[in-house]
Amino acid sequence: MFIAPFLATAIGSLPHANVEEALKVIFSAIPDCPIWPQLSKRALYEQMEIQYSEGLPRIVIDEQKGRMFFDTADEEACGAEIGAFYERFMAAEESDDWSRFAISPKFSAGIPGLLSNLQSLPKRQWLKVQTTGPISFGLSIVDEQKRAIYYNEMFRDVIVKSMAAKCRWQIRTFRPFTENIICFIDEPILSAFGSSTYVSLVRDDVVAVLNEVVESIHAAGALCGIHCCGNTEWPVLMDAGVDIVNFDAFGFGESIALYPQQVKNHLENGKYLAWGIVPTSDKIVNHSVESLSALFDENVNRLASKGIDKALIYKQAIITPSCGTGSMRQQNAERVFDLLGKLSAELKKKGA
């Protein structure tokens, strides 16, 4: 599955309440690799972690308080529901039928919306889907005692397998409409990896958790990307076996150059960097295709100065926004997508 240089795609979230309006923006800007939109302003059930929570044992969604947590107090009930979860998971593995882990329309208007649009369109060369990463999910959602569920090993394994299953279901669902699928694992919380906040996070555990989801995506015949919208230890993602490292090249463009040998190995192994060069903040109003192209060149030159072939960097470059646009004003989010599409076209035209 070879990705042509400067393919443009996006992170999942948009600020629109209407799915067809969001899809119009997507198909206009990134028709070569569209996404299904995550519309967190549309409903509580489309928020980042809640959207992927269906089927998890002992999950509680408190609509009045707008939050979600795990109820782990009843050990007997936990054991029974976790056992039932593993039975569903093993049955799905055996049959390769992942519908038991579907994301229903209540939790996503974007998935059926994209499917409906694809019915009447030619088969795509590329299409991207996405899932909240197990690290971010596990550290963001707590139990009834407000302890991050990630630190409960039994539930952590359930979350890993559930996120992997959500990936498998999405890939299988969209397979009839595209030649190739990219599945992103969104791990924003990894920007705090190594900080005092998450000092108890063990590197090998993080790599193993991510690798389990990566391998599940590979088993479904898709490429796997990991998105982190801040700075992190990028070799962690590479060690997890990911095909595409998606980083905030607008705000942290210099960070990838801190790991020249690992990046060189990553690219020479036929893998990709997804440059999040289009800002997803109010700074977007101050930028143009020309300014973003210049910033991209600056970042590439910095990386090339570390001994990496510039032609190789260009050949295996994907262009994305720096993060999702769900928290932006709609006008600015649409400008992000407009500049994204135009920047991709410009880089393709000049061959960077």
> How do residues 79-115 score in pLDDT, each as one tens digit?
999 999 999 999 999 999 999 999 999 999 999 999 9
Strand order in the sheet with 272-278: 7-8, 317-321, 272-278, 244-247, 223-228, 178-186, 124-132
Q: Which range (154-158, 228-232, 305-309) has the least confidence?
A: 228-232
With a pLDDT cut of 90, the percent of the chain lying above it is 94
- Which residues form the domain of 277? 7-350
pTM attached to this predicted model: 0.96
Q: Using CA atoms, how far apart are residues 245 and 231, in angstroms rounded to an integer?
A: 12
Residue 2 domain flag: no
CA angle at 161 for the pair 179 and 69, rounded to the nearest 5°: 120
Q: Give the per-residue pLDDT at 130.
A: 98
Q: Using CA atoms, how far apart are residues 165 and 210, in angstroms rounded to an integer?
A: 13
Residue 243 domain flag: yes
Q: Domain of 213: which CATH number?
A: 3.20.20
Residue 36 domain flag: yes
Residues in contact with 314: Cβ distance below 8 Å, sequence separation at least 6, in sequence order: 5, 6, 300, 351, 352
> How do residues 159-168 score in pLDDT, each as one tens digit?
999 999 999 9
Residue 118 domain flag: yes
- Tokens (6 digits) for 334: 């649409």
Residue 313 domain flag: yes
* Residues pairing with 13 in the sheet: 38
Residue 1 domain flag: no
How remote is the C-alpha of 3 from its chain's centroid? 17
Residue 293 domain flag: yes
Q: How many domains does the chain have?
A: 1
Q: Using CA atoms, how far apart are residues 138 and 149, in angstroms rounded to an integer?
A: 5
